[in-house]
Amino acid sequence: MLISFARAVQEDGTLAGDSLTAIQIFLYFFAAPTGMFLLISALSWATSGKKKSSKQTDSSLTRIE
C-alpha cells in the first residue's frame, strides 16, 4: 500500500489511458475533419456566390466611353 502511494506521488501523468476503438479512430481522425471541411467549404461557397445583377441602364458614372 505504501509503495503504490509513493509511485502515485512521483507519477508525472504519463500513464497511458484506454485505447480507442476502430470506430472512434475513424470518427475522430477522418469523419469529423472531413465533415468540418465540407461544412466550411459549403458555407464559404454559399456566401460568396455570384450576385444577381439587376437590369439597369448604363450610367455615365459606371461606363467608360
pLDDT tens for residues 7-64? 666 667 777 789 999 999 999 999 999 999 999 999 999 998 776 665 666 666 777 7
Those residues with Cβ within 8 angstroms of residue 28's Cβ, 6 or more apart along the chain or in another chain: 20
Exposure b/e, 19-44, CB count within 10 A at least 16 = b: eeeeeeeeeeeeeeeeeeeeeeeeee
Residue 45 pLDDT: 92
59, three cell numbers: 450610367
pTM beyond 0.75, yes or no: no
- pLDDT score for 62: 73
Cβ distance 20 to 28 under 8 Å?
Answer: yes
